Structure 1
Amino acid sequence: MAARSLLPFSSPLLFASMSVFSALAFAQTPPALELYVDSETQQIFAEPGAGRVKLGTFQMVEPADAVTTVEPSTGLTQPEPAAEVAVGNNGLDVEGNNGFSMRLGGRMHADGSYSSDDNLLKRGTANDYEAVSGTEIRRGRLALRGTAYHDFDYIIEADFGGNKTSVKDLFLTYTGFDPLEITVGNQKHAMSMEIQESSNDIMFNERSLLSALTVPHFDRAIGVNLKSSGNDWSLQSGIYGDGMSSSGGGRDEGYGWGIRGTIAPINTEDRLVHLGANFGHREANEINSLSNSGSTAFRYETTNMSDLYLADTGALTNFESISLGIVEAAAKLGPLSIQSEYGQAKVDQVRVADLEFAAWYVQMGLSLTGESRVYRGSDGEFKRLRQNRLFAPAQGSWGAWELAVRLDQLDLEDGIVLGGRQRRASLNLNGYLNNNVRVLFGYSRAFDIENSPLTTLDGGEPEDIDILSVRTQWTF
């Protein structure tokens, strides 16, 4: 009897243990799943139905691995940080964080001029010759400049002044070989302090008589320029073809080269001594003319719109080449600045005697409100002065005012070429209303006029001629 008590199912503890193990085994056994397929649509169903055929009974053998969601790759890099955009007195600036920048700027020069007694004749003719007085938009420019890939600087500048469109600066500069800069495109020749200075910064409405030798042949042209500079010195040289306006005419164009060096042994905020020298040479095209200027004449117009040339050689039909040397000097002492250049040109001609022309100027500026003109040693040039106060009469502030005087001379006479000789004295009062607006009031007198292509009605030399000019300048 006692043995019966040892049977498995007679033990409550053993029965409870077996129940627990059975429950665990059942919990670990995955449930079976019957699947059916629709014979027409081939869709899978978990329940029987019309048109459905049983596929079988399915049971999960092992639990699936954990699923990790992976974002699909677009193949694109992360977006660049947003560019910084600013609008101020320098125009519209866009500055990126990746070596790119861009600035949109421009200028407007609205001019008016009046010439005194100009009842003249073209020498040797009975044709009346009068200066034009009136108004014009002398310059209306838009410029886009900036940097790409850290080391490439660019500028694109178009001029809409004078009721016509032309391209001024259009070039690319590589700065990665510091301190060497390589510039390719339409640019100024490496010549003359006055030519290098922007029309936004010069102290007079018109450039000096020296420009009769520089501008026609050594202003802007397409070429390659190498430059190296420091805070107090600069050295640059380039070789150039024709300018953007050259039509070519189916002929080989002319070419030229130039070199300019400057040094400022004294260069502080209010003291300066500047010395410079430059030399340039230009060859005519194959028909002894200059494609970029359309004329081999040396001449000077009293204002941009006057159409009055008191000195003019006329077109030199035997022109072959020109060589021009210039020496320059400048100084600054607080609000006082002085600047001067002397240039001499030699013109080689075919089958006739060579010619020599010369020009010079001396100018002085005095800030009546105490500011100094800005000098940039790396370019060897003056910039406009920066006023200490804005023009705001209601607050008792009148901006900055500058008085400038200049004496210059041009000699276009040599041998049988009588292009004339003249001197000129100029006086300017310039007001700097803010960083963007400047007004210029100018007076000049042309005197000592000799062998001019113009004469008085009785055949004599022109009398002294007075010219009044005014400009409103807006830059950004």
Structure 2
Amino acid sequence: MAKKVFQASGLLGGLVLAAAAPMPAMAQDGARMESIERQLRALQSELTRLRRDAATREAETRAARQEAERTRAEVQETRRRLDTAPAAPVVAAAPAPDAGRLTFPANRPTLTSADGRFSASLGGQFQYDLGGYLRDSPGTPNNRGVRDLDTFGQNLRRGRLLFGFRYDDFTLNVTPDFGGSPDGTVGLYEANFNWNPVKPLTLTLGYFKPWVTLGDSMSSNDFLFLERPSIVEIARNVAGGDGRASAGARWAADRYFLSAYFTGGSYGGNATQSTPDQTGGVARIAGRPVANADMDVHLGFSGSYASDIRRSSAGQTLQLRDRPELRIDQSRLIDTGAIAADRAYTYGPEFGVRWRNFMLQGEYIKIGMEQSQAGAAPRPDLGFEGGYVEGSWVLTGETRRYSSTSGAFGRPSPRQPFSLAEGGWGAWEVMGRYSVADLNDKVRRGSAASTTGGVYGGRQEVVGVGLSWYPNNLLRFMLNWDMVNVDRLNPAGTTQIGQRFHTIALRSQLAF
């Protein structure tokens, strides 16, 4: 705008100078002067308008600057007041309705509250066995007819529903079992209350399976064979086993495992007793000195002690026995009978090693018993023993993962679940085992057990091979072939009542 005013002023000045310059008299006339005057008046009008517009713009600019200054001052004053005023109370928004959420950790349906403090889960375990016994003709040395084994049969080995309820650090577990050995009677696998005051520590009270031995700590879903080795099954039931009244603790860290429990009787044992139940305890310690992607090394030791043997109508007795690592037929071919005993104990080392998709593990277990003294008959302390070695090779390359919560190896997880559409075949595994359980002590062949106070409980050896197919993480099919040799004499020590035979069995398993 100032530029235009300057240009107009210069033009007007030029016209005035031009008009004042002397001109020849003949060139001046009235018409030209009048034209010049009109132009001068027009230019003066334009100059006046431009000056007026410039003044208006300047006034507007000053007004805008003043308004900006006032606004800036008001903002500063508002900030000062907010900084010095007391904080206003925060009103929380109304909480949204607690709808909860349903998830499937480890394929187990779990309902969790919106705040995460409460959850309820449902699990299941179904194991159905089909199989039988292959024996020589009746009357031959390997089939003496002392034990009439079924040639073919079936059994719902485990049919469990696992109910779990958690609130903060407290958990309640209740698991009824519709299977068994044999099936047909509903039982209770566990009913216990747990508290986790710190992450690795779990305190437990109720009916529980306390941790003792490597074979017993392994989940029944992960067994290499249909049943535990006989020496494990015998030893764990001295003061532990399924549904045992327990109170104790477990510390399960990534590289080591510690557990100890005071134990009483098993679930249902009080129904036929008029005197107090047995008391005892179990303990286990295990470590994993090597743990990497290719290799796991496991070392451990466990033991149990029964200081007051379970009492029944026959007195305070303990009976050690087991079936031939199969539950199709319920005959127990090694059996000490009921022994009057004051105390009993078990102990033994355990080991395991995994190299990529190969796994090997085993245990040695010693069982001791202090017989009750009565009359003049000899009643020495007794000792029984046994052990096993078993191995697994996963043909499809998966590994048996190590579980730090149990201090034992678990089953493999298929990389490619079975699917005809996508060409997956699941995981395939071959297994082998040798186990022995010797329940003979303080006896001599040809002499009666009563003369020495010993026991002809029998010696059982089992050599087994197996094949497992895991279509996915829920299903498993196990085929086992066992060669069983039972060497047992009658109480007089003169007659062989053992047998030799083969067993074949298939297990169908669904677990989540």
2:473 aligned with 1:451: no
2:364 aligns to what? 342
- 2:343 maps to which residue? 321
Rounded to whole Å, the distance in 2 between the matches of 1:417 and 1:366 is 39
Tell me if the contact between 2:214 and 2:408 (Cα under 8 Å) persists in the aligned partners.
Answer: yes
From 433, 439, 446, give the equivalent of 2:471: 433
1:402 and 2:429 correspond: yes
Alpha-carbon distance between aligned partners in 1 of 2:367 and 2:499, rounded to the nearest angstrom: 28
Match of 2:505 in 1: 469
Aligned match of 1:242: 265
Q: 1:376-391 alignment to 2 at 5 Å?
A: 376-391=403-418
| Contact preservation (8 Å) 1:310, 1:452 | no
Q: Counterpart of 2:101? A: 84
CA contact (8 A) 2:265 2:310 kept: no
Within-5 A mapping of 1:73-472: 81-86=98-103, 90-96=107-113, 97-117=115-135, 128-132=146-150, 133-148=152-167, 150-161=168-179, 162-217=183-238, 218-220=240-242, 221-247=244-270, 249-285=273-309, 287=311, 296-302=318-324, 303-316=326-339, 318-351=340-373, 352-415=379-442, 416-447=454-485, 449-452=486-489, 460=496, 462-472=498-508
SS of structure 2 residue aligned to 1:194: helix
Structure 1: distance between partners of 2:465 and 2:145: 32
Identity of aligned residues (%): 24
CA drift of 1:98 comes to 3.7
Distance of 1:163 and 1:254 partners within structure 2: 27
- Report the CA distance between 1:89 and its aligned residue: 6.1
Which residue identity lines up with residue 154 of structure 1 in the other structure? L
Superimposed CA distance per residue, residues 297-338 of structure 1 (whole angstroms, 9 cap, x where no aligned partner) = 21120211312323111121x122211002100000100001
Report the 3-state secondary structure (helix = DSSP H, G, I; strand = E; otherwise coil) of the residue aligned with 1:211.
helix
Query: 8 Å contact 2:490–2:496 — kept in the other structure?
Result: no
SS at 2:265's partner residue?
A: coil
Structure 1's 287 and 245: CA in aligned 2 closer, same or farther, altered over 3 A? Answer: closer
2:3 is matched with: none
Q: Is the deviation greater in 97-106 or in 256-265?
A: 97-106
Distance 2:263 2:496 in 1: 43
Q: Is the 8 A contact 1:264 1:377 kept in 2?
A: no
CA contact (8 A) 2:277 2:311 kept: no
Superposed CA deviations along residues 133-192 of structure 1, whole A, max 9, x for unmatched, are: 3112111110111421x1112211110011111111211111124443211111112311
Question: 2: distance between equivalents of 1:105 and 1:190?
Answer: 21
Task: Give the count of matched residue pairs.
Answer: 390
- Report the structure, 1 or 2, having the larger strand content: 1
* Alpha carbons 1:311, 1:452 under 8 Å: kept: no
Q: Could you list the runs of 5+ residues in structure 1 that have no partner in the other structure?
A: 1-76
Aligned 8 A contact 1:283 1:320 in 2: yes
Q: Distance in 2 between matches of 1:363 and 1:462?
A: 24
Letter matched to residue 438 of structure 2: D
Shift in CA distance, 173/257, structure 1 to aligned 2, threshold 3 Å: same
Deviation track 1:10-32 (CA, whole Å, cap 9, x = no partner) reads: xxxxxxxxxxxxxxxxxxxxxxx
Describe the superposition over 1:421-442 as per-residue Cα deviations: whole angstroms up to 9, x where unpaired.
1211011100001111100000
Structure with greater helix percent: 2
**Contact 1:311–1:453 (CA under 8 A) maintained in structure 2:** no
CA contact (8 A) 1:118 1:131 kept: no
Q: Which residue of 2 aligns with 1:49?
A: none
Distance change (3 Å), C-alpha of 1:313 and 1:285: closer
Q: Secondary structure at the match of 1:82?
A: coil
Letter in 2 for 1:335: N
TM-score with structure 2 length normalisation? 0.71
Match for 2:470: what amino acid?
A: Y
In structure 1, give the amino acid aligned to 2:266: G
Equivalent-residue separation in structure 1 for 2:385 and 2:419 (angstroms): 45
Tell whether the 8 Å contact from 1:233 to 1:379 is kept in structure 2 after alignment: no
Query: How far, CA to CA, are the matches of 1:212 and 1:379 in structure 2?
Result: 17
- Shift in CA distance, 138/179, structure 1 to aligned 2, threshold 3 Å: closer
User: Which residue identity lines up with residue 134 of structure 1 in the other structure?
Assistant: G
Displacement, 1:222?
Answer: 1.0
* Partner AA of 1:259 in structure 2: A
| TM-score, length basis structure 1 | 0.76
Q: Which amino acid aligns with 2:488?
A: N
SS of the residue 2:237 aligns to: helix
CA contact under 8 A between 2:488 and 2:498: conserved in structure 1? no
User: 2:309·2:344 contact (CA, 8 Å) conserved in 1?
Assistant: no
Aligned residue identity for 1:450? D
The 2-side partners of 1:260 and 1:170 are apart by: 22
Deviation string 1:358-378 (CA, Å, 9 cap, x unpaired) is 010000100000000010124
Q: Whose Rg is larger? A: 2
In structure 2, distance between residues paired with 1:232 and 1:275: 11
Aligned partners of 1:425 and 1:257: how far apart in 2?
32
Kindly indicate whether the alpha-carbon contact (under 8 Å) linking 1:119 and 1:130 is maintained by their aligned counterparts in 2: no
- 8 A contact 1:312–1:453 mirrored in 2: no
Matched residue of 2:277: which SS?
coil
> Post-superposition shift, 1:343?
0.3
2-structure distance, mates of 1:475, 1:378? 18
Going from structure 1 to structure 2, the CA distance change for 1:88 and 1:212 (only over 3 Å counts) comes to closer
Task: Determine if contact 1:289/1:296 at 8 Å carries over to the other structure.
Answer: no
Are the counterparts in 1 of residues 319 and 337 from structure 2 also a CA contact under 8 Å?
Answer: yes
